[in-house]
Amino acid sequence: MSNSARFWSDVDNHVLRYGGDFVPEIIDSARGSYVFTEAGRPILDFTSGQMSAILGHSHPEIVATVRHGVATLDHLYSGMLSRPVVDLSRRLAATLPDPLRKTLLLTTGAEANEAAIRLAKLVTGKFEIVSFSRSWHGMTQAAVNATYSAGRRGYGPPVPGNIAIPTPNPYRPDFRTPDGQLDWRRQLDFAFDLVDAQSVGSLAACIVEPILSSGGLIDPPAGYLTALQAKCRERGMLLIADEAQTGLCRTGTWYAFEREGVVPDILTLSKTLGAGLPLAAVITSAELEEQAHERGYLFFTTHVSDPLVAAVGNTVLDVLERDDMANRAATSGAHLRAGLEALHAKHDIVGDVRGRGLFQGLELVVDRETKQGSDELGRQVTRRCFELGLHMNIVQLPGMGGVFRIAPPLTSTEQELSEGLQILDQALTEVTSG
C-alpha cells in the first residue's frame, strides 16, 4: 500500500467526521497566500485557512514570536498574568471606542461568545438571547443555541430562552418597499413584535455578526445595526457584536461595526486576532466588568490568559498597525470587488456580489429572475476551482443558492487576487458550458 493510500485508509478507519467532506489531497505545508499538497501542488487560499490567517500562512514575524514564546513562556496557571496578556488587553482597548476597555483572552470564537453570553446573563439578571435566523456563533452550549444557520437537528431540545429574528438579506427580501427593495425597518419592527410575543420578560442580550458569514455573507443595510441597538435599548438588552471574521481590518476598517458608529456593549474577537492560532477575546466596558465581578463572574478555562498566543496577538497588532492593513484591505478589496462584478456581468449563474473589503460573497443561481439556487452547481464550481489550484468555501443553506465566502489574507497581492479571479472565471465557464 502506498503512503497516500495508507493515509486515506487511516482517515476512513480513525478520523471522526465532523462536518462536510474532507479536501481530497494531503496538505503538507503553507506559506503566504498558498497551501501546498504533499505532491508539491500549490493551491491559492481564498479563505485564509478557516477565515483566520489574515497575515497569510507562516508569516515570519509570527513564526519568530511562536519560537520565542515556546522557548520562554507558553502556558501558565489561569490565575497568573504575564506581560503579553496585559499588553494585548491594553492595545486592543486603544483600537476601540469608549467605553470598550476590559478584555478577557480565550481560545476560540465559540468560547468567547459563551463567555459573552454568560456575562450578559449575569449582569442583566435575565436569560433570553436573540440572534439572527442565519446566525453562526459556535458549537458550545450557549453559542450553539444562538446559532440557526446549521446544526440544530438531532440534538434534542435547545436551552430555553433563545429567539431568532429574520435575517436582513437585501438580495432575498421578505419585506419589500414599493420598488422591490428590502424594507428592513418594517422587517425589524416585525422581528421585535415576535420577540416581545415570545419573551417571558427576561431579555438579556442580542448577539449578531455585523456581516453574517456562514449565513451566506450577508451585509445588513446601512442603518440596520443602529436601529437594532435602539430596539435593544428599549428593552434593557445588551448588544453583543461577534466580529470573529470581520474584526481587525478585514472589511477595510478595524471593526465592521464602525461603519455606523455603533458601539456594542460586548465585543467578541477570535479567528483574525490569532491570525490562525487559537486566540479569542471578550471586550466590554469597565462598568459591566465591575458589575460582573461583584456578582461573582466565573469563566475559568485551561487556556484563559495564555501568554504564548497573547504574544502572537501583539505581533498581529504590530503588523496591522505598521502596514496600515485597514487601508490595504480597502484598496485590495476594491480590486477584488471589481473582478467579482466583472464575473457577475459575464456569467448568468452569478446572481449577486456583496460584502466589504477582503470579505466578499458571490451567490450562484440557476435563474436570475427566480433566484433559484443549485447545490450541485455550487459543488461543481468548488471542485473545479480546487482542481485548477484555488481553494474556495461555499455555503449552501435551504432557500438560498450557493454562496462563496471569499476572504483572502490581507497580505494578498493584487497579482494573487487576479490569479484567483481568473481561476474562478475559468471554473464558472467550464461548469456552465459542460
Hey, is 193 helix, strand or coil?
A: helix
The predicted structure's pLDDT at residue 399: 66
Does residue 405 carry a catalytic annotation?
yes
Is it true that the peptide bond before 99 is cis, omega within 30 degrees of 0? yes
Options 111, 183, 219, 242, the catalytic residue: 242
pTM score of the predicted model: 0.97
Strands 100-106 and 280-285 come out as antiparallel
The predicted structure's pLDDT at residue 21: 87
**Backbone torsion region of residue 388, taken as left when φ is above 0, otherwise alpha when ψ lies between -120 and 50, otherwise beta:** alpha
Options 209, 219, 265, 289, the catalytic residue: 209
- Rounded Cα distance between 133 and 283, Å, is 25
The grid cell for 293 is 465581578
The predicted structure's pLDDT at residue 81: 98
Strands (E) in 144-265, as ranges, are 162-165, 203-208, 238-242
Give all domains of the chain, ordered by start, each with its CATH number.
3-58+325-433 (3.90.1150.10), 73-322 (3.40.640.10)
Q: Kindly report the CA angle at 63 between 62 and 69, in degrees rounded to 5? A: 85
The predicted structure's pLDDT at residue 401: 67
Q: Kindly report the CA angle at 138 between 134 and 139, in degrees rounded to 5? A: 115
The predicted structure's pLDDT at residue 340: 98
Write down the H helix ranges in 278-364: 286-294, 307-322, 325-346
- Segments of the chain scoring below 70 in pLDDT: 399-401
87 DSSP 8-state letter: H
Options 231, 254, 405, 416, the catalytic residue: 405
Does residue 387 carry a catalytic annotation?
no
The grid cell for 420 is 484567483
Query: Contacts by 420-423 with C-beta closer than 8 Å and gap 24+?
Result: 420/44, 420/46, 420/390, 421/336, 421/339, 421/340, 421/342, 421/343, 423/44, 423/385, 423/388, 423/389, 423/390
216 DSSP 8-state letter: T
Q: By 3-state DSSP, what share of the chain in percent is helix, strand and coil, each rounded to 5?
A: 40, 20, 40
Options 102, 121, 250, 271, the catalytic residue: 271
Does residue 367 carry a catalytic annotation?
no
Options 187, 245, 360, 380, the catalytic residue: 245
Does residue 121 carry a catalytic annotation?
no
Complete DSSP assignment for 3-57: HHHHHHHHHHHHPPP-SSPPPSS-EEEEEBTEEEETT--EEEETTHHHHT-TT-B
Does residue 231 carry a catalytic annotation?
no
Q: Which of 281, 335, 302, 364 is nearest to 96 (CA)?
A: 281
Does residue 419 carry a catalytic annotation?
no
Longest Cα–Cα distance in the chain? 66
